[in-house]
Amino acid sequence: MNESALTQYLTRLRQRPVAIAAIEPLGGGGQGAAALKAFGYGQPIRVTYHCGADTDEVVLRRVNRNGFGRENMSDRVAEVWRDYHAFNQLPRHVRARDLVLLNRDGELHSLAAAAELLLLTDFAPGTTYAEDLHRVGETGRLTPLDRDRAKALASYLAAIHTTKYQDDLLWRRRLRDLVGDGEGIMGLTDSYAAEDEIATPARLRQIE
């Protein structure tokens, strides 16, 4: 991202030509290109610009990667989404002006009109594996095809986990998610009905 991309974005946002007067890290410490470089390392930048007779000041922020629930890009996207929708609901809080996308070409685009993020994929024929598991659970019977599919899944999982990455943040995050995530051990124990005959409250307490 450079000053030109920032100018173009603000012009589209205000729907009028703008001229940037100053770019500096929030709290000071350099201007212009130095401030944009600091932004690349996660420092929020304060932007002062003119739009007609008006002068406005805004802060552009990004979420830094850390070991407190922001290890993955999806965590940081969720944080920005949550902040954008929460800031303006809080009394006496700074206002959130826009939800901004930074693309691979360094361009900025508004996502403020987004109500939900959707995923478009290729089509693959067949049924979900969960249907097989539900059937086995209901009937208590395994077919030869069930065994073959289980072996195929195990082989696939083993194959995609053969490459190991040395990333201490992600290793700790994966361990936390395994235990406490909504799809981890705690999330699954919470999913059983209180009157379940197998996963009784006493048994779940022992697991926890």
Contact (CB, 8 A) for 36 and 23: yes
Q: How do residues 32-83 score in pLDDT, each as one tens digit? A: 888 988 888 888 999 999 999 999 999 999 998 888 888 999 999 999 999 9
Q: How do residues 155-194 score in pLDDT, each as one tens digit? A: 999 999 998 888 999 899 989 999 888 888 888 888 988 8
DSSP for residue 63: P
For helices 144-160 and 129-139, the axis angle rounded to 10 degrees is 130
**Is residue 176 packed enough to be buried (19+ CB in 10 Å), middle (13-18) or exposed (0-12)?**
middle
* Closest to 65 in 3D by CA, of 56, 54, 55, 74: 74
Q: What is the pLDDT of residue 32?
A: 84
Query: With the C-alpha atoms ordered 171, 172, 173, 179, is the resulting torsion angle positive or negative?
Result: positive
168: tokens are 């201490």
Q: What is the pLDDT of residue 31?
A: 84
Name the phi and psi angles at 52, rounded to 5: 65, -130
Taking only Cα atoms into account, the Rg of the chain, rounded to an integer number of angstroms, comes to: 25
Instruction: Say how many CA atoms lie within 13 Å of 133 toward its Cβ.
Output: 5
Q: What is the pLDDT of residue 139?
A: 95
- What's the pTM value of the predicted model, to 2 decimals? 0.76
179: tokens are 């235990």
Name the phi and psi angles at 106, rounded to 5: 80, 15
Q: How many CB atoms lie within 10 A of CB 121?
A: 5
